[in-house]
Amino acid sequence: MFCYCAEARRVSRLLTAKYDAALASAELTSAQFETLSVLHAMQHCSGRVLAQKLAVDKTTLSRNLRGMIEAGLVVSKGSAEDTRQMDYSLTAAGRKKLVKAQPLWQALHEETNRQLGWHAASAQKVLRRMAAAL
């Protein structure tokens, strides 16, 4: 029996492990890379908006951001009691770390596209459609 949830979780774990390994030399996890990428694209944003963009809950966002703030990659301004009221942006060190990691991410992205072959475009379309529908 096929289960969308089980299959998505399995593929997510496999991809996360591959991307974490690829980004290890930049000392980033795939979750950190995604967060830095979103902050770079938006320049700054609130915790509420960042959580929505990353599709994570407040607790996960707080935990993930704490380490990046302590590492000097992200800076926060606003209410320390409520991360949804905080405004986050990249520091110069965060931008530098992202620039270092981007070629690593790009190489794995291209490798994954090659492995999927002609299915790559279909996979991207299905994933985007599922995310939009949910």
- Say how far apart CA 88 and CA 83 lie, in whole Å: 9
Name the more confident of 1 and 81. Answer: 1
- Say how far apart CA 92 and CA 75 lie, in whole Å: 10
Taking only the tens place, the pLDDT of each residue in 25-51 is 999 999 999 999 999 999 989 888 999
Which domains does the chain possess?
A: 4-133 (1.10.10.10)
* pLDDT (0 to 100) of residue 82: 60
Q: What Rg, from alpha-carbon coordinates, does the chain have?
A: 16
